[in-house]
Structure 1
Amino acid sequence: MSSLLDVEVKETIDQKTFLTFDLDKETFAVEVEKVVEIQELTNITPIPNAPKHMAGVQNLRGKILPLIDTKVKFGLDPIKETVDTCIVVIEMEVEGEKTLVGTLVDAVQEVVTVPSAEIQSSPSIDAKFDLDFVSGMFKKGDKFIMLLNLDKTFALDEGDAADNKENQSHAKSKKS
């Protein structure tokens, strides 16, 4: 026989906590334990010949923080700076090392806790976002919130390398 306390502990264990944010009128979420901080959008230094989604870098307490324009990464128009635009600093593992990445978002919403059972895999439907970047979704009220697959969203992949080579060859042809 399980006690009421056992049931409460199990319910707490079977929940996940996410930070939600907006991109192009859609709501996305990342696991709270991956979020280091949220910053105002200031002083971005552009990087020549970087992939299109690379907004630049910023100084984060003496360390270089790469900044990703998440909307461009998803194939949308670049972020337009507003009073709500901000940077979500995320810690991820890249090639076995912990790395900080800043992602530009239209606006941060809230922290939500969701029972694991309510998280569904992402459907393979035609969407305006590349669903490879989505690891699942859940419903909050009448709205679906998409969970970002951080490894795929912020990984340097073949497409990024091709973008970079295209930018470099374009820059060389301009010099000629």
Structure 2
Amino acid sequence: MTAFVDSAVPANAHSATPGQVSSAAAAVREFLTFRLGAEEYGIDILRVQEIRSYERPTRLAHSPDFIKGVIDLRGRIVPILDLRVKLQCPEASYTDFTVVIILDIGSTVVGAVVDAVADVVSLTPDLIKPTPQFERQGHVDPAFVTGIASLGERMLIVMDIEALLSSDEIGLVRSAAHR
């Protein structure tokens, strides 16, 4: 199911110049939405390479809990991160709906384990509201949340996947990919 929020074209588009309409349309960004427990998150669709069913990765010794291991993806070793563990969500069991989203994070390809993929939504910047600021608790930096979007009855947590990982963690992920 695909849900689109059609607010890219202003209500007065019939009186707008072609440049105004195309600049408004250019501001629309698409996000892949997925579930972690009861929450729904969205990541920039341009970061997504593919969505795969979950397969048990090969565990790497002495890696952090959120790095579940690595898989061989068509000859490329890809580290698999469990976002539930990274975000300190209540532990969920792996089901038939559990999937791995293969993401391009800079020069590194990683897989992110999520409970389920929901759909793709189109959002304009005005639909993404700033997140409330809280003191940093634990090891997860709330800076990875770029905003909150209300989609009818749904609340979507828009996240920056690169900001979720610290520079040390990105180094760990890169080294896991090159083992």
Taking every aligned residue pair, what percent have the same amino acid on both sides? Answer: 27
Say which of 116, 120, 123 aligns to 1:114. 123
1:85 is aligned to 2:98: yes
Aligned residue for 1:32? Answer: 45
1:30 Cα deviation from its structure 2 partner: 0.5
d(CA) in 1 for partners of 2:45 and 2:144?
17
Aligned residue for 1:172? Answer: none
d(CA) in 2 for partners of 1:23 and 1:130?
17
Say which of 5, 13, 20 aligns to 2:26. 13
Corresponding residue SS for 1:9: helix
1:149 is aligned to 2:167: no
d(CA) in 2 for partners of 1:30 and 1:23?
13
1:39 Cα deviation from its structure 2 partner: 0.4
Corresponding residue SS for 1:157: helix
**Conserved? CA contact 1:74–1:130, under 8 Å:** no
Q: 1:99 is matched by which residue type in structure 2?
A: T
Say which of 101, 112, 116 aligns to 1:103. 112
TM-score (norm 1): 0.78
Query: Structure 1: where are the runs of 5+ without partners?
Result: 162-176
Q: 1:155 to 1:60 in 2, by over 3 A?
A: farther
1:69 Cα deviation from its structure 2 partner: 0.6
CA RMSD of aligned residues (A): 2.4
**Conserved? CA contact 2:141–2:164, under 8 Å:** no
Corresponding residue SS for 2:129: coil
How many residues get paired? 155
Query: Structure 2: where are the runs of 5+ without partners?
Result: 1-14, 173-179
**Conserved? CA contact 1:122–1:131, under 8 Å:** no
d(CA) in 1 for partners of 2:42 and 2:54?
19
**Conserved? CA contact 1:86–1:105, under 8 Å:** yes
1:156 Cα deviation from its structure 2 partner: 4.5
d(CA) in 2 for partners of 1:127 and 1:144?
22
1:11 Cα deviation from its structure 2 partner: 2.5
**Conserved? CA contact 2:102–2:112, under 8 Å:** yes
